Amino acid sequence: MIYNIFIFILSFVMLGVAAHWTVNSLTFLAQKFKWRDFVLVYFVLVIGAAIPNLSVGLFSVLQEAPDLFFGDVIGNSLITITLITGIAALVNKELKAESRLVQKSSIFVILTSLMPLLLIMDGELSRGDGVVLLALFLLYSGWLLSKRKLFTHTYEGDQMNNLDGSFLKSFTGIIIGIPLLILAGKWIVESSIFFAEYFDFSLAVFGLLIVAIGTSLPELFFIVTAAKKKNNWLALGGIIGDVIVLPTFGLGIIAIFSPIVIEKAAFATFLPLLIFLIIGTLLFSLFIKSGKKISREEAVLLLMVYGTFLVYELLSRII
Q: What is the pLDDT along the chain (319 residues), one digit of tens a residue?
A: 777 777 767 776 776 676 666 666 666 665 665 555 555 555 555 666 566 677 777 777 777 777 778 888 888 889 999 999 999 889 888 888 776 777 778 788 888 888 998 898 888 889 999 999 999 988 888 887 776 555 555 545 444 444 445 666 666 766 776 677 667 766 777 777 777 777 776 766 777 777 777 777 777 777 777 777 777 777 787 788 888 888 998 889 888 988 888 776 667 777 888 889 999 999 998 888 876 788 889 999 999 999 998 888 778 767 6
Q: What domains are defined for the chain?
A: 2-318 (1.20.1420.30)
Model pTM above 0.85: no
Q: Please name the amino acid found at residue 294.
A: I
Tens of pLDDT, residues 202-227: 766 777 777 777 777 777 777 777 77
